[in-house]
């Protein structure tokens, strides 16, 4: 017996160091099912002395995130574990603070605001500069994941701040360090969250320095806007009634620089990391499935033309490109950006399934207990997706409607506010990449796919590839 759950925690941490923590969690479900002689999707787990619940049952997940939404919250330990980095932003706030932030930010994610694809084209062209041809129409070996993270950072920052961070005065040094500090701080946040109430054990100078540098990056955009607003106010001038950016909208509601910083940082995290991981996993899968790559490229060329003469690439036409959307859905199924999460009961409540000898009876959830839910495991359940659940197959989306068995952007009232923007940006980038390149060579083909689990998950070893430029695409 291990009443503190230390052995399980050590197993997970060791697996994480090897880049296989998500596989280890899946194998735990398989072992539990084998021990019980049936498919087990909900069971008790011990974590640092606390008895919590694990579930990958769609009905239970729907209950936690939607049906009994008001019975659960993010949990104090999770909020405190992440707060030094993300503050009181929308992803970490609860109750009235979350409701207010979502109401304020939602209008900026409607189709009118996320369909400005000329902005995305500028950032795609900058990314293309890192994909120069060296021999026989092949690029050099590049870490495409790094290029994609830079692209989505620049795109999201311009969406939030209204300016290109690469051309902003004084941003060069901070921009160069931002990604490294942001990624390191996220890794600390994951560890702090895993420790539950012992989150404070991971609070050293390295973590604090990374958080400080990340905050300084955001502040350089917020401070000039706040100064302008204060000057206008002192002169009796009114603020614009229809702010053009999220930064200006926030500046019109509060004089707190830290409040604005944290809302923007939460959105920058969601916009950069979610989209970049989706693109990274998609390009990796296409490199390893050349038949799918060619089918997708032909669908793109037929719909949107060639790289030098693109046609009709719009918000609506990207959504209507069926095979492109199937490919993105399949990647999100196998590699959901947030592969594991939890909610904590704020009152005694009940989950509809998981109890009894057959697992079909209700399960009592005591106030203060956490329910861990795992989209990564959920998306690979054979009883939902079939015996080939682990296989990459975009064509499965022809006739499958998984409902709550598919959770790439969370669900219920706290579902991802920017999911349509993420899909739009990812779709646009994929179209432009595959218009130009017709082959992708994964130079790490023989290596095992490893996951780097931060607040989102992405390929742990980068995305080392060569790309082959189609004839006639670049003169």
Q: For the chain, give percent helix, strand, coil, nearest 5.
A: 55, 15, 30
In whole angstroms, how large is the CA radius of gyration of the chain? 23
Quick one: DSSP state of residue 447?
S
- Cα–Cα distance for residue pair 172/349, rounded to 1 Å: 51
- Cα–Cα distance for residue pair 431/266, rounded to 1 Å: 27
CB 213 within 8 A of CB 238: no
Q: Which of 457, 60, 474, 56 lies closest to 280, judged by CA?
A: 457
Q: Which of 265, 184, 266, 179 lies closest to 219, judged by CA?
A: 265
Start-to-end Cα distance in the chain: 68
Which residues lie closer than 8 Å to 412 by C-beta, 6 or more apart?
A: 62, 65, 66, 69
CB 317 within 8 A of CB 304: yes
Q: Could you give the maximum distance between any two Cα atoms of the chain, in Å?
A: 74
Quick one: DSSP state of residue 63?
I
CB 384 within 8 A of CB 378: yes
CB 55 within 8 A of CB 41: yes
CB 379 within 8 A of CB 333: yes
- On whether 416 is known to bind a ligand per the annotation, the reply is yes
CB 60 within 8 A of CB 350: no
Q: Which of 400, 355, 336 lies closest to 41, judged by CA?
A: 355
Give the ranges where 313-368 is alpha helix by DSSP (H): 315-320, 322-334
Summarize the annotated binding site as residue ranges. Answer: 416
Summarize the annotated binding site for heme as residue ranges. Answer: 416
């Amino acid at each position: 017996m291990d009443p503190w759950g230390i052995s399980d925690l050590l197993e997970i941490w060791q697996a994480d160091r090897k880049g296989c923590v998500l596989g280890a969690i899946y194998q735990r479900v398989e072992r539990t099912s084998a021990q019980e002689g049936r498919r087990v999707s909900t069971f008790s787990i011990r974590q640092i002395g606390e008895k919590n619940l694990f579930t990958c049952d769609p009905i239970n997940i729907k209950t936690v995130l939607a049906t009994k939404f008001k019975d659960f919250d993010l949990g104090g330990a999770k909020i405190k574990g992440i707060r030094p980095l993300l503050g009181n932003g929308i992803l970490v706030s609860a109750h009235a603070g979350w409701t207010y932030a979502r109401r304020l930010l939602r209008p900026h994610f409607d189709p009118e605001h996320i369909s400005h694809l000329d902005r995305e084209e500028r950032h795609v062209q900058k990314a293309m500069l890192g994909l120069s041809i060296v021999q026989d129409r092949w690029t050099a070996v590049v870490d495409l994941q790094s290029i994609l993270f830079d692209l989505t950072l620049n795109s999201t920052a311009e969406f939030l701040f209204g300016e290109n961070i690469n051309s902003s005065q004084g941003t060069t040094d901070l921009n160069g360090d931002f990604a490294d500090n942001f990624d390191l701080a996220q890794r600390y946040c994951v560890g702090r969250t895993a420790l539950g109430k012992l989150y404070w054990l991971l609070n050293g100078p390295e973590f604090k320095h990374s958080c400080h540098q990340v905050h300084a990056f955001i502040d350089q955009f917020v401070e000039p806007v706040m100064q302008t607003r204060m000057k206008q106010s002192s002169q009796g001038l009114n603020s614009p009634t229809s702010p053009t950016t999220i930064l200006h909208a926030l500046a019109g509601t509060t004089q707190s620089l830290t409040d604005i910083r944290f809302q923007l940082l939460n959105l920058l995290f969601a916009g950069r990391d979610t989209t970049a991981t989706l693109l990274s996993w998609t390009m990796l899968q296409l490199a390893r499935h050349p038949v799918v790559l060619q089918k997708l490229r032909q669908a793109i060329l037929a719909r949107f033309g060639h790289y030098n003469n693109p046609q009709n690439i719009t918000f609506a036409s990207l959504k209507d490109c069926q095979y492109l959307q199937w490919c993105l859905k399949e990647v999100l199924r196998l590699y959901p950006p947030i592969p594991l999460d939890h909610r904590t009961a704020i009152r005694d409540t009940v989950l509809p399934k998981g109890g009894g000898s057959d697992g079909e009876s209700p399960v009592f959830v005591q106030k203060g207990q956490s329910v861990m839910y795992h989209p990564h495991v959920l998306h690979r359940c054979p009883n939902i997706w079939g015996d080939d659940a682990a296989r990459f197959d975009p064509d499965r989306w022809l006739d499958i409607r998984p409902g709550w068995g598919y959770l790439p952007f969370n669900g219920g009232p706290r579902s991802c506010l920017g999911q349509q923007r993420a899909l739009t940006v990812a779709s646009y980038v994929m179209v432009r990449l595959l218009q130009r390149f017709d082959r992708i060579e994964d130079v790490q083909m023989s290596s095992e796919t490893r996951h780097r689990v931060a607040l989102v998950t992405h390929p742990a070893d980068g995305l080392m590839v060569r790309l082959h430029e189609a004839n006639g695409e670049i003169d």
